[in-house]
């Protein structure tokens, strides 16, 4: 069994319908081994998005992700990393809306920044990202 980090972004957490629909979908496909509602601080966001420091969208991304509560989850399943990324859909909303409307980003993404959710892109980043959100998590 593999674990991954999922983050439901602030505009979705404000939308009870969207949040419940995503949570139901998650519960069908994964075992939830950690869940936490968190207002991401500037410091956490800088650690979490360190690889994007030089991107043109970095400031926009940080002010969005710190703008209100997010929900972070540790999800377990076989191939959890790629499974969750498949359910999320592509980063860019214009792609999801036409080609993958049933993905979470296809349903609830508003823009390339406000794309509804995050998922770790590899096992190694999953472990680092879980550390940012769940510093006490026991990987055993």
State the residues that interact with ligand ATP by CB under 6 A: 52, 57, 61, 91, 112-113, 115, 118, 121
If contact means CB under 5 to 8 A according to the sort of partner, which of ligand ATP, Mg ion, none does residue 70 touch?
Answer: none
| 118 flagged as catalytic | yes
Residue among 100 and 121 whose Cβ is closer to Mg ion: 121
Residue among 2 and 136 whose Cβ is closer to ligand ATP: 2
Query: Of residues 13, 118, 133, 134, which has the active-site annotation?
Result: 118
Instruction: Tell me the HSE value of 90 on the side-chain side, using a 13 A CA sphere.
Output: 10
Query: What is the closest distance, in whole angstroms, from the C-beta atom of residue 85 to Mg ion in the complex?
Result: 9
Residue among 41 and 94 whose Cβ is closer to ligand ATP: 94
Running DSSP on this structure, what letter comes out for residue 89? -
If contact means CB under 5 to 8 A according to the sort of partner, which of ligand ATP, Mg ion, none does residue 112 touch?
Answer: ligand ATP
Running DSSP on this structure, what letter comes out for residue 9? -
Is residue 76 helix, strand or coil? strand
Q: Report the alpha-carbon distance of residue 55 to residue 36 in Å, rounded.
A: 28
| Cβ pair 62, 93 in contact under 8 A | no
Query: What is the closest distance, in whole angstroms, from the C-beta atom of residue 121 to Mg ion in the complex?
Result: 5
Query: What is the closest distance, in whole angstroms, from the C-beta atom of residue 133 to ligand ATP in the complex?
Result: 15
DSSP characters for 13-74?
Answer: HT-HHHHHHHHHHHHHH-EEEEEEEEE--HHHHHHHTGGGTTSTTHHHHHHHHTSSEEEEEE
Which residue numbers are catalytic?
118
């Amino acid at each position: 069994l593999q674990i991954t980090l999922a983050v439901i972004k602030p505009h979705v957490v404000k939308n009870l319908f969207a949040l419940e629909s995503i949570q139901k979908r998650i519960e069908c496909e994964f075992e939830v081994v950690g869940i936490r509602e968190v207002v991401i601080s500037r410091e956490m966001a800088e650690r979490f998005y360190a690889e994007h420091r030089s991107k043109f969208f970095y400031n926009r991304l940080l002010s969005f992700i710190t703008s209100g509560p997010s929900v972070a989850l540790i999800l377990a399943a076989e191939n959890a990393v790629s499974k969750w990324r498949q359910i999320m859909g592509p980063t860019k909303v214009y792609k999801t809306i036409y080609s993958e409307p049933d993905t979470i980003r296809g349903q609830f993404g508003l823009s390339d920044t406000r794309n509804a959710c995050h998922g770790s892109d590899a096992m190694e980043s999953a472990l680092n990202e879980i550390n940012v959100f769940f510093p006490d998590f026991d990987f055993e």
